[in-house]
Amino acid sequence: MILSTSEKIKIICDRLGITYSELADRLNISIQNLSNKLSRNNFKEEDLKEIAKALGCEFESNFIMEDGTKV
């Protein structure tokens, strides 16, 4: 089963006991802005890095070539 980015963020928030309102506060954005991003599942890589930092996580994005090289 492949999870969307929004679903992954929800799982992390649930595990950490962080509400979307608290996450929005940590990101210095409105809850409405966060809700819109989550409902559209529309995130820039920079958004994901900021969300990870706000959640105390690391974010990694890579293309993995056939020889295993990460770019």
Domain ranges in the chain are 5-54
Q: Cα torsion at 28, 6, 46, 61 (round to 10°)?
A: 150
CA distance 40 to 19: 18
**Owner of token pair 């969300």:** 51
Q: What is the pLDDT of residue 65?
A: 94
- pLDDT beneath 50, residues of the chain: none
* CB neighbour class for 54 (10 Å; exposed up to 12, middle 13-18, buried from 19): middle
What predicted TM-score, i.e. pTM, was given to this entire model? 0.87
* CATH class of this structure's domain 5-54: mainly alpha
Q: What is the pLDDT of residue 1?
A: 86
